Structure 1
Amino acid sequence: MKEIRQEYLTGERALFQGNNLKIYDTIFADGESPLKESHDIELFGSMFQWKYPLWYSKNILAENCTWLEMARAGVWYTDNITVKNAVIEAPKNFRRCHGLVLQKVDLPNAAETLWNCEGVVMEQVTAKGDYFAMNSRDMELHDFMLVGNYSFDGVKNAEIHNAKMLSKDAFWNSENVTVYDSFISGEYLGWNAKNLTLINCTIESLQGMCYIENLVMKNCRLIHTALAFEYSTVDAQIQGKIDSVLNPSGGIIRTDEIGELIIEKDKVDPAKTRIICQKDGKFEGCVCA
């Protein structure tokens, strides 16, 4: 492979259609699309300072690299890309990519990032920004931290481990998502989802887990979570107290205590939901309207 070392590249499409390159300690300064339509590129310790650096590219490795804020919309329509030990300040990164690996990546301005991607592996990634990972699919995340609302909207086939998420409206319209050993705080969690599973998770969510088809919760805790499970079919095992439950569509809820159970017979059939409080074996505080 040809090597490029410690260059300062300017102008539009500086390395257009580059291939079989190892690029070290190089700055891609002003000039759009410096590596557009490139393939088989390895980047080490390099920096992107301007827009659209990697579009329509294939087989990319970027290690110890930096995307500055104006390197926005940085990686679109690119297949088989691995990014390691990176700081990506630019928003709107990673769109319609296939085969994306992010390891030890910090995304402090991750607004509208990771949209419509497929085959995504993320390890030790930290992100801040709204609308993260919209409509992506086939995702596996480990040790993930997010501050940003409306995350994972429309995601399909995702597995998340050891996450901490401060995210209103997370997992809306999602399908086949399983979250393990995580903390999630944000209103309206999971609305309109299908096959959402939460295992060993702690949740804080006003009106969380509503309008869900096949919600499964195993060994979870709900702190300051009210009006949960409205119009959801649910199989839930909750440790501790649930502040209130409203109009579940069906299934079973096991918990230590429910502060208020509201079942409106004109909206749901009470017979379709079984509720068991572990302390006394039965919950009798049903408020029916």
Structure 2
Amino acid sequence: MKDYRNQYFEGERPLFAEHDATITDTTFGKGESPLKESRNVNLKNVIFKWKYPLWYTHNAKVDHTILEKIAHAGIWYTHHIDMTNCSIQATKTFRRSSYINLVNDHFSNAAETLWNCDHIKINHVQANGNYFGMNSQNLYIDHLDLIGNYCFDGAKNVEVHNSTLVSKDAFWNCENVTVYDSTINGEYLGWNTQHLTLINCTIESDQGLCYIDHLTMKNCRLLATDLAFEYCTDIDAEISSSIVSVKNPISGKIHAQSIGEIIMDPTKIDPSQTTITTDPKISKRKLA
């Protein structure tokens, strides 16, 4: 096992195809692709200052490491990588990579991060940036604090726990998403998604939860959420709060404490296919 300590590297590909190496207290300065095609590398207290630091890497453990702003598009086509206690200032980190384990990391500019990736675990991560997690699949997430629009667009097989997502258009075009004990804030939640399940969640979303096939909600609160469930099919929603308004659900059942307005337009949907109840009585229906 090679051991690099207290080193400084510059120029393109200074440790190209390095393998079976430990790199500690080291800085990679100006120069692209410093560890391209590396194998079986352990990094600790490393700083990457330039582009494409870990492309085509296999089996990397990265701890207390920094990717500075210019180190964008840092980790592409890489498989089996653990990153713990890292600070990532760069955009477009992770593309077409797999078996990614992120623990206690901070992405200060996570725009276009985790695109087209597979088998991802996220635990106690903070991220800020649009289009986080686009077209990725097989994600397990616990304690993600994300601020950024359009997160997880096109994702498949996603399980989320104990997280806060401040995101317009979250979970669009997805398949098989389950969210537990989380807060989601942002307009147009979940459109064009199949099999979305929300359990013990708090949601605030203008025109959220529309165009969904197989929507399940258990013990969820909808804060200032209006025109919900438009053109949704196979709904099973138990809402432990009021709903501002419900509009033209296609089929299923919805129960809430109260509903300010129910719009059921028989020229658009068949009202008999959806059962809507409230506590203590059924809300008055308004035909559009």
Quick one: distance in 2 between partners of 1:40 and 1:240?
52
Counterpart residue number, 1:193: 193
1:263 pairs with 2:264: yes
Displacement after TM superposition at 1:136 (Å):
0.3
Q: Corresponding residue for 2:250?
A: 249
Deviations 1:58-84 (A, max 9, x none): 000000100000000000000000000
| Number of residue pairs matched by the alignment | 287
**Partner of 2:121 in structure 1?**
121
d(CA) in 1 for partners of 2:110 and 2:255?
38
1:201 Cα offset (Å): 0.2
Q: CA deviation at 1:240?
A: 1.6
Distance 1:254 1:263 in 2: 16
Identity of aligned residues (%): 51
Map of 1:276 onto structure 2: 277
1:30 Cα offset (Å):
0.3
> Residue in 2 aligned with 1:217?
217
**TM-score normalised by L of structure 2:** 0.99
Q: Are 2:194 and 1:169 equivalent residues in the alignment?
A: no
CA distance in 2, matches of 1:129, 1:230: 28
Alpha-carbon distance, 1:276 to partner: 1.1
What is the TM-score with the length of structure 1 in the denominator?
0.99
Residue identity matched to 1:190: G
Q: Report what 2:285 is aligned to.
A: 286
Q: Distance in 1 between matches of 2:265 and 2:276?
A: 15
Deviation at 1:96, TM superposition (A): 0.7
SS at match of 1:46: strand
Give per-residue Cα distances to partners, 1:227-271, cap 9 Å, x unaligned.
000000211000120000000011000111000000010000000
Cα deviations by residue, 1:160-201 (Å, 9 ceiling, x for unpaired): 001111100000000000000000000000000000000000
| Per-residue deviation, 1:278 | 2.3
Aligned counterparts of 1:132 and 1:159: Cα–Cα separation in 2:
15
Aligned-partner Cα distance in 1 for 2:18–2:123: 29
Question: Which AA in structure 2 matches 1:30?
Answer: K
- Distance of 1:180 and 1:14 partners within structure 2: 45
Match for residue 238 of structure 1?
A: 239
Alpha-carbon distance in structure 2 between the residues aligned to 1:91 and 1:125:
16
Partner of 2:158: 158
Secondary structure of 2:162's partner?
strand
Q: Which amino acid aligns with 1:258?
A: I
Equivalent position SS for 1:249: coil
RMSD: 0.5
Aligned residue for 1:64? 64
Q: Helix, strand or coil: the match of 1:111?
A: coil
Letter in 1 for 2:226: A
Structure 2 CA distance for aligned equivalents of residues 274 and 73 of structure 1: 49
Residue matched to 1:103: 103
Unaligned runs of 5+ in 1: none
Distance 1:208 1:214 in 2: 15
Q: Distance in 2 between matches of 1:167 and 1:256?
A: 26
Secondary structure of the equivalent of 1:54?
coil
Q: In the aligned structure 1, how far is the partner of 2:121 from the partner of 2:242?
A: 35
- CA distance in 1: counterparts of 2:280 and 2:12, whole angstroms: 69
Identify the residue that residue 52 of structure 1 maps to in structure 2: 52
| Rounded Cα–Cα distance in structure 2 between residues aligned with 1:288 and 1:265 | 8
